[in-house]
Structure 1
Amino acid sequence: MKFNKIALYVAAVLSFGGASCSDYLDKEVDLTLQADNVFSDFDRTRGFLAKMYDNCLPDAFRGYSDTQFRLSGDCMTDNAVDYWGVARYHSVMADAYDATNHWFANDYWTSRYAAIRSCNQFLTNARPDVIGNAEKPGDDNRLYDRMIAEAHMLRAIMHFDLICWFGDTPMVTDDENGAPIILTPSSVIPERMPAADALKWIADECDKFKDALPFRYASENENWGRVNGAAAYALKAR
């Protein structure tokens, strides 16, 4: 479900074409811009969402070029037999695996919470008057609702990933008023939520937003890699 990086680059160039005289527009998608600058413009809003896909969804082929032989998540269990002693997951078979040498702590823990923060920024700042939310035929029917559903599902997928690796997990979702939580350096990190409760939250998110997404996109070439209704059903079934 990961966006093709070349397609993302081309889309970003087309989105920002005609304004390349500004330094910040030379970048593919600049997530450091102020919210007012990003979310007051349709192309930059769409680019922010596209970059969220790039940040959120893992590269399925990464392990095959990784010098640490991280070929399979199953290699982090005792179901795998390690041939190369240099592999990081060899510590599982050697019974030398603990929190101090868990390489997923950086690769997954840090990156997933950064991606969740981007999702919450989008949910907080995306504007229906900029994106449009009209009833129309095709994939862009009620486009604002669809993009918001995409962001919710990406956030759910990121939490699911964390639960799979770490079990009980801090859930950075919405506050008591229903507003997405955007953590800052001074924020208090939520307590870990029991995995069973966290999975129930993810299933509920799938139920809430599956119908705001096309079950299958009519133009799959144009929307290749986007979360659809079928993905929401599949995530809930996990």
Structure 2
Amino acid sequence: MTIFKKYIIILTAFSALCWTGCKELDLAPENTFTDLTYWDSEAKAQSVLNTAYSQLYGSSRFFYNEGASDNAYNGRGDTEGAASLAAGTYDPSLGRLQGEWNSNYTGIKTCNILLENIDRVPDMDEGNKARMMAEARFIRAFLHFQLMTWFGDVPLLSRDITIEEAQEVIRTPKAEVLGFILDELEQISLTLPTRQDLPDSERGRITAGAAMALKARVHLYEGQWQEVVQATENLINGNAFGSYGLFPSYEGLFLPENEYSQEDILSLQYVPQFRTWGQFFDMAPLSAGARLNALAPTQELVDSYMTSEGLAIGHPDSGYDEENPYVNRDPRLTATVVYHEYEWEENGTTRTIYIKPGTDPDSSAPDEYVPGSSSTTTGYYTRKYFDPTHLVQFASGLNLMLIRYADVLLMYAEAKNELGQLDESTWNLTIGALRERAGFDAATALQFNSGLSQEDYREIIRNERRVELAMEGLRIFDIRRWRIAEDVLNGWAHGAKFGPPSEDGGYLRVNLRSFDPSKHYLWPIPRDERNLNSNLTQNPGWN
């Protein structure tokens, strides 16, 4: 356990105590951190920063954001509002909207308190102070980015406001929020240490590489292609912002023994027994010890994985066999999704997972698909990020990667293609390298094809993002920025071929969805916020 992780553990409980009741933006209380007598040591300043780290993001949204997309289905409950968001059945009162608003602004407040009070610490090392301020500015920029991405115009809080000011705050135009985020990331990328500069005891802290990678993602979501190229090339070429690369094994990348690999740019920090996440208790096969299945991959996700020849399953030369669908497929499918007759490996033993109804030799058949049962709702379970060292109820200390180097390569490939600059060298550096790492060896999968059009490569790159980053919480942002949500979130989401042949070729109809492009590309401002502050205007199409 690194020293940095120990700090995070201690502050998780402390932050919960300090921020109890800190919900609506306009009701954020003054608290321990604003007491001028508090700032008497560098350790106390560090404790505030660690609180901000703990408010950066959470494991529940990391996983259940997939359920808001076409990659997965939240079939039991409405965790993080995923079921409502995917089905298009929500309104401004949805709890996820208020929760997103609350948690991001709570973290922003923590950052602003640190930035405005750290100068009060006596005799503080100037280098440490500059670094801590840069880390707080990164977190503040990240949280504003989350808010802007979901809501569009949002209040930009670059300082800690009073309760009275909060009751009258207005939404800042998105362009201004965007400019603030990008300026902050550019400035702090020159102050933060690189990955290689960090001692082992401080692994997991925000680095210059994280700032540059987040900057690339911000530009990506805005379709600013030349800027994406510039930011990603800073990470691909040279070591000025840290040296990164692909971890040799796709499956191994998500195992605890390979944390802090050369692919990890920014991660949520967890530690066994002290600070854990436990979503796999409701995602893994029941025979592996799960309680039930609440988040299951869809057939649409499974169908997006190519054959071993690098061809879509619908291609006439793909060799895909619908009656034997999981053979000769992209190896990343097996590393991500549990399907019928999957060979589940855990702690040196292997057993077969039977999901198709009526196939399990075990009479209890815990994993078989049964409508209305506790088993999978789609005919699939999840494997990626399964921690074989997990504690009781799947409590895991495995870090969750928010940004990894594979994403940087995918951003670069997409931007180069949109600029009309995708060539063989770019392909080999990005998509070719990702597929080779995944385990492809067929020339049709690995080699650049000069006969394909820009539109052909657009679809290839978009699908590569989907399969490479599946179940990592990013698909919802991609389908929104590509403006294809009305295509992929309208109609039935499907499961495996366990249904009546007369309906959709036998593929289970698991969830009827609706996406209205006239309003769903922006979330509504939460109803409670507008009730408390009439200056907060609403997004188009919402009341």
Alignment of 1:78-89 (within 5 A): 79-80=70-71, 82=73, 84=75, 86-87=77-78, 88-89=81-82
Aligned match for 2:143, one of 130, 140, 158: 158
Alignment of 1:1-238 (within 5 A): 6-9=6-9, 28=14, 31=18, 32-33=31-32, 34-55=34-55, 57-60=56-59, 62=60, 71-77=63-69, 79-80=70-71, 82=73, 84=75, 86-87=77-78, 88-101=81-94, 103-127=95-119, 129-133=122-126, 142-173=127-158, 181-188=159-166, 189-216=168-195, 218-238=197-217
CA–CA separation in structure 1 for the residues paired with 2:86 and 2:48? 41
CA–CA separation in structure 2 for the residues paired with 1:37 and 1:71? 40
Q: Do the aligned partners of residues 217 and 108 (structure 1) sit closer, same or farther apart at CA in structure 2, a change above 3 Å counting? A: farther
CA–CA separation in structure 2 for the residues paired with 1:231 and 1:129? 30
CA–CA separation in structure 2 for the residues paired with 1:117 and 1:199? 19
CA–CA separation in structure 2 for the residues paired with 1:202 and 1:54? 20
| TM-score under structure 1 length normalisation | 0.71
CA–CA separation in structure 1 for the residues paired with 2:84 and 2:14? 39
- Letter in structure 2 aligned against 1:50: N
For structure 1, the 5+ residue unaligned runs are 13-26, 64-69, 134-141, 174-180
- Letter in structure 1 aligned against 2:216: A
Contact in 2 for aligned 1:172/1:190 (Cα 8 Å)? no
What's 1:177 paired with? none
| TM-score under structure 2 length normalisation | 0.33
Contact in 1 for aligned 2:4/2:201 (Cα 8 Å)? no
Q: Do the aligned partners of residues 59 and 4 (structure 1) sit closer, same or farther apart at CA in structure 2, a change above 3 Å counting? A: farther
- SS of the residue aligned with 1:40? coil
Q: Do the aligned partners of residues 84 and 151 (structure 1) sit closer, same or farther apart at CA in structure 2, a change above 3 Å counting? A: same
CA–CA separation in structure 1 for the residues paired with 2:54 and 2:202? 14
What's 2:288 paired with? none
1:159-188 deviations in whole A, cap 9, x for unaligned? 011112222211111xxxxxxx21222114
Contact in 1 for aligned 2:7/2:47 (Cα 8 Å)? no
1:105-129 deviations in whole A, cap 9, x for unaligned? 2321011111111111111100264
CA–CA separation in structure 1 for the residues paired with 2:4 and 2:97? 26
CA–CA separation in structure 1 for the residues paired with 2:88 and 2:47? 45
- Letter in structure 2 aligned against 1:41: S
Contact in 2 for aligned 1:121/1:182 (Cα 8 Å)? yes
1:109-164 deviations in whole A, cap 9, x for unaligned? 0111111111111111002643211xxxxxxxx11111111111111011011112
Contact in 2 for aligned 1:145/1:212 (Cα 8 Å)? yes
CA–CA separation in structure 2 for the residues paired with 1:218 and 1:97? 46
Q: Do the aligned partners of residues 150 and 71 (structure 1) sit closer, same or farther apart at CA in structure 2, a change above 3 Å counting? A: closer
Q: Which of the pair is proportionally richer in strand?
A: 2
1:224 shift after superposition = 2.5
- Letter in structure 1 aligned against 2:108: I
Q: Do the aligned partners of residues 219 and 163 (structure 1) sit closer, same or farther apart at CA in structure 2, a change above 3 Å counting? A: same
CA–CA separation in structure 1 for the residues paired with 2:72 and 2:99? 23
Q: Do the aligned partners of residues 35 and 210 (structure 1) sit closer, same or farther apart at CA in structure 2, a change above 3 Å counting? A: farther
Contact in 2 for aligned 1:215/1:229 (Cα 8 Å)? yes
CA–CA separation in structure 2 for the residues paired with 1:81 and 1:9? 31
- SS of the residue aligned with 1:100? coil
Q: Do the aligned partners of residues 72 and 83 (structure 1) sit closer, same or farther apart at CA in structure 2, a change above 3 Å counting? A: closer
1:218 shift after superposition = 2.8
- Letter in structure 1 aligned against 2:114: F
For structure 2, the 5+ residue unaligned runs are 19-30, 218-543
Question: Among the aligned pairs, what percent are the same residue?
Answer: 26
How many pairs are equivalent? Answer: 196
Contact in 2 for aligned 1:39/1:130 (Cα 8 Å)? no
Contact in 1 for aligned 2:67/2:74 (Cα 8 Å)? no
1:232 shift after superposition = 0.7
* Worse-matched range after superposition: 29-38 or 207-216: 29-38
* Worse-matched range after superposition: 110-119 or 80-89: 80-89
1:5 shift after superposition = 5.8
1:61-92 deviations in whole A, cap 9, x for unaligned? x36xxxxxx83324324x34636163343223
Q: Do the aligned partners of residues 38 and 90 (structure 1) sit closer, same or farther apart at CA in structure 2, a change above 3 Å counting? A: same
- Letter in structure 2 aligned against 1:121: I
CA–CA separation in structure 2 for the residues paired with 1:163 and 1:43? 32
